[in-house]
């Protein structure tokens, strides 16, 4: 059984060792000798016997626990979670952590409605307290995930290793794909998050109004008002946190995308030079006035006179450049600026198919860049778009795409 006083005293006395063990616990286990080595590193004034006693004390107080059928050790899970809470451990959570608590709020709301109809005061107070805890947990997850994203961005920028840009920003891109995108869909105005928040807010408002009209449970009105206020704050905190996280991730995402295009263009230029060659082509266009032997020997007067006479009548010939080996050389890819594309899209007529317009306006773009512009324009608030139920097929650079197109509304006319 863990003793609270002993745990707090160990955290105070052996904090550097326990913090190092908490960081190591994220990757692998450790041995008793590793614990002794950490005590020797952080407390060099201790003798070898004192180091052994300090490490043995952590085992005796169950702060360190032996793994099953192994001599390796691990931190007690409760102690590890407490240390991570104190150090604000930068572990990015998932959208499921938030969604599960929203589902729990929906379940508690239904139980609260039942308790109100039955006028069960004890159950009503219990469900209000549980809902308040879930709301606080959601706020905590939003703030923790924002802190984790900022930590990932700073770590990627400060990495001075010789890794490629994609490897350095792998965790950043994973955070965008695995957290930002799902949360954006979840807190959408028509998403489940917003629906649950609005339903719960209406339920609490009706209950507060019922208390004011009837006077029943008048002493419990203040917790309900506080819960409703905290619920609305949670919605605002979540949106602001997501906005700040997106603002720090988007520049890195754009940087990685542009560097990928630069690498692609450079590879295209090198491939063209490898096919056609540079020096063999230019050597055929240079006229030769002397032999290699004459370059290193002194000519006679007659040779110089003859050479000057030839220069008087010299006429340059028209040389035909050789045909390219590749009949369709790839053009240098230039990605248009998103704001310019958005400005052009706003000038389109009503009922313009967004995908067809992009394919006609930017035929030189690869399929992935075209789909990127299509995705960004479909989310742009400046465009009033209508999502069609019918399926549209189009072919872009040898790829056949099947989309439910977005069509401009009459309000987009300028």
The DSSP string of 332-344 is: PP-PPPHHHHHHH
Count CA atoms within 13 Å of residue 168 on its CB side: 18
Q: What is the pLDDT along the chain (414 residues), one digit of tens a residue?
A: 567 788 888 888 888 888 888 877 766 778 888 889 989 998 989 898 998 998 888 888 888 888 877 788 888 888 887 887 776 655 666 677 788 888 888 888 888 888 888 888 888 888 888 988 888 888 888 887 777 777 777 766 665 555 455 566 666 677 667 777 777 777 776 677 788 888 888 888 888 888 888 777 777 788 888 888 888 888 888 888 878 877 777 777 666 666 665 556 666 655 565 666 665 544 544 555 455 554 445 555 666 777 777 777 767 666 666 665 554 544 556 677 788 888 888 887 777 888 888 888 888 888 878 888 888 888 777 787 887 778 878 787 777 878 778 888 755 444
Pair 241, 142: CB distance under 8 Å: yes
Phi (first) and psi of residue 408, to 5 degrees: -70, 145
Scan for tokens 């313009």, then name that residue. Answer: 352
215, two tokens = 């006077």
Can you tell me the distance from the alpha carbon of 130 to that of 161, in angstroms, rounded to the nearest whole number?
Answer: 47
- Residues in a beta bridge with 387: 406
Scan for tokens 């991730």, then name that residue. Answer: 249
Pair 203, 117: CB distance under 8 Å: no
Chain centroid to Cα 62, Å, comes to 39
Cα 100-101-106 angle, rounded to 5 deg: 100
Pair 175, 184: CB distance under 8 Å: no
Scan for tokens 């998103």, then name that residue. Answer: 338
């Amino acid at each position: 059984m863990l003793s609270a006083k002993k745990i707090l005293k160990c955290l105070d006395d052996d904090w550097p060792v326990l913090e190092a063990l908490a960081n190591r616990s994220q990757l692998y286990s450790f041995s008793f000798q590793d614990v002794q080595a950490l005590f020797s590193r952080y407390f060099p004034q201790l003798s070898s016997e004192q180091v052994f006693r300090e490490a043995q004390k952590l085992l005796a107080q169950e702060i360190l626990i032996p793994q099953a059928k192994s001599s390796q050790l691990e931190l007690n899970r409760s102690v590890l979670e407490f240390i991570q809470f104190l150090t604000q451990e930068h572990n990015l959570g998932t959208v499921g952590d938030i969604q599960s608590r929203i589902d729990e709020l929906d379940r508690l709301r239904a139980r609260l409605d039942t308790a109100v109809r039955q006028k069960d005061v004890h159950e009503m107070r219990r469900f209000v307290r549980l809902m308040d805890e879930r709301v606080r947990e959601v706020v905590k997850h939003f703030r923790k995930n924002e802190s984790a994203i900022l930590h990932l961005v700073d770590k990627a920028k400060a990495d001075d290793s010789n890794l490629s840009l994609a490897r350095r920003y792998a965790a950043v891109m994973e955070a965008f794909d695995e957290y930002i995108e799902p949360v954006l869909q979840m807190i959408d105005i028509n998403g489940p998050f917003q629906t649950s928040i609005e339903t719960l807010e209406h339920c609490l408002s009706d209950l507060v109004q019922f208390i004011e009209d009837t006077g029943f449970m008048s002493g419990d009105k203040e917790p309900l008002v506080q819960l409703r206020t905290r619920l609305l704050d949670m919605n605002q905190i979540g949106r602001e946190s997501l906005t700040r996280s997106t603002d720090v991730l988007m520049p890195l995402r754009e940087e990685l995308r542009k560097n990928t295009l630069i690498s692609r263009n450079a590879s295209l230029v090198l491939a063209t030079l490898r096919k056609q060659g540079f020096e063999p082509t230019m050597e055929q266009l240079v006229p030769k006035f002397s032999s290699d032997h004459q370059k290193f020997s002194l000519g006679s007067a007659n040779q110089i006179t003859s050479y000057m006479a030839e220069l008087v009548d010299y006429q340059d010939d028209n040389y035909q450049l050789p045909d390219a080996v590749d009949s369709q050389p790839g053009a240098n890819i230039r990605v248009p600026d998103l704001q310019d594309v958005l400005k052009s899209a706003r000038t389109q007529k009503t009922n313009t198919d967004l995908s067809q317009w992009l394919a006609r306006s930017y035929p030189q773009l690869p399929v992935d860049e075209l789909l990127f512009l299509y995705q960004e324009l479909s989310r742009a608030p400046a465009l009033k778009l209508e999502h069609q139920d019918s399926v549209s097929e189009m072919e872009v650079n040898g790829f056949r795409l099947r989309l439910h197109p977005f069509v401009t509304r009459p309000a987009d006319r300028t």
